[in-house]
Structure 1
Amino acid sequence: MGRFHPNPRQRQRGAVLYIALIMLVLLALLGIVGMQVAGLQERMSSNYRAVNLAFQQTEALARSAECALEDMINRTSTAGCDGVTSSMIDSCDTGFDPGGWAQDRSLGQHSAVNARLIGPCISGNSSLEMGGAVNEDPNPIYQVTAFRVDDPDNPTAQAVIDTIFRP
């Protein structure tokens, strides 16, 4: 009375197909997740590039304005130094707020510079005439605030730099 034992290969016929389909679905899901991660990283690197480019262009604008201020003081002319004329320089008693000025800028403006002569409003930080006005003739002190976007044709990022400059 023997019992009928089917061939093990006959019992597993089709199991490989199901396992292969499950593995194929898992690999497809991994591929989709990988593509989403790559797309996110591409967007993040694009945003980082735009912000870095805006910062570098703003810094170049601020340095150009500082160079123009130095040229005005020394009565010289240096190539590439522009962005500030004597009529653009404010006095320190105007109540200028760099943060508010920066918030008033928009991507459509592309670039802007604000320069202020702040030396006369700084209290003396030396033992000579403490609290008196600083002598501005030999060493004026300026505050230069610059704004610029990453790409004037298609602006996506902006940066503002506020510097204190003594020529």
Structure 2
Amino acid sequence: MLYVALIMLILLTLIGIVAMQVAGQQERMASNYQATNMAFQNAEGAAREQESGLKSDVLAQLLPPTNVPPTDCTTAHDAASWSSASPYVRRLDLCFSWGGMDYPSDEAERTDQIYQVTAFAKDRAVFSSSESVVDTVFIP
């Protein structure tokens, strides 16, 4: 009878250890999901904030600032030298051939401005575990 009780205690101990390991693994997975989601939300917020500024500038008939010259359509964004201090902004409408897109081919007749806004963010400022980049095309 004593042997049966000891074997039952050992089995219950093993089941308890496995349950604790599963719970710990699930906690780490939830933490990683939260960090990923926070990084994405921070990047999305930075992109939307930049888009709001672009819209305000366009409505005020100001030429919004961009990170590259408006006529530079061939230089790609260098992600290795990313500066997370401000989103990357490029004006795209000056790089398109408008003839086949139901847009006026004469630049003076076009009123739409199209911008590429790319924002980078981390989940936390210190000891971050996740990073995210959001790239949008914005028409004010």
Q: Is the pair's TM-score, using the shorter chain for normalization, greater than 0.5? A: yes
* C-alpha spacing 1:74/1:137, structure 2 compared with 1 (3 Å): farther
Structure 2, unaligned runs of 5 or more = none
TM-score scaled by structure 1?
A: 0.71
Rounded Cα–Cα distance in structure 1 between residues aligned with 2:8 and 2:109 = 78
* C-alpha spacing 1:35/1:135, structure 2 compared with 1 (3 Å): farther
Q: Tell me the residue number matched to 1:166.
A: 139
Report the alpha carbon displacement of residue 89 of structure 1 after superposing the two structures with TM: 5.0
* C-alpha spacing 1:156/1:135, structure 2 compared with 1 (3 Å): farther
Q: Tell me the residue number matched to 1:121.
A: 95
Q: Equivalences for 1:1-167 in 2 at 5 Å?
A: 16-75=1-60, 86=65, 88-91=67-70, 92-97=72-77, 101=79, 104-105=81-82, 111-124=85-98, 125-127=100-102, 132=105, 138-167=111-140
Report the alpha carbon displacement of residue 94 of structure 1 after superposing the two structures with TM: 4.4
Rounded Cα–Cα distance in structure 1 between residues aligned with 2:107 and 2:13 = 71
Rounded Cα–Cα distance in structure 1 between residues aligned with 2:81 and 2:109 = 31
Report the alpha carbon displacement of residue 19 of structure 1 after superposing the two structures with TM: 0.6
* Alignment deviations for residues 34-81 of structure 1 (CA, whole Å, 9 cap, x no partner): 0000000000000000000110110010000111111111128xxxxx
Q: Percent identity?
A: 39
Report the alpha carbon displacement of residue 156 of structure 1 after superposing the two structures with TM: 1.2
TM-score scaled by structure 2?
A: 0.83
Structure 1, unaligned runs of 5 or more = 1-15, 77-84
Report the alpha carbon displacement of residue 86 of structure 1 after superposing the two structures with TM: 1.5
Read off the aligned partner of 1:144 and give its amino acid letter. V
Is the contact between residue 47 and residue 118 of structure 2 (CA under 8 Å) also seen in structure 1?
Answer: yes
Give the aligned CA root-mean-square deviation in angstroms. Answer: 2.5
Report the alpha carbon displacement of residue 122 of structure 1 after superposing the two structures with TM: 1.4
Read off the aligned partner of 2:101 and give its amino acid letter. S
Rounded Cα–Cα distance in structure 1 between residues aligned with 2:119 and 2:125 = 15
Read off the aligned partner of 1:122 and give its amino acid letter. F
Rounded Cα–Cα distance in structure 1 between residues aligned with 2:47 and 2:6 = 62
Aligned residue pair count: 136
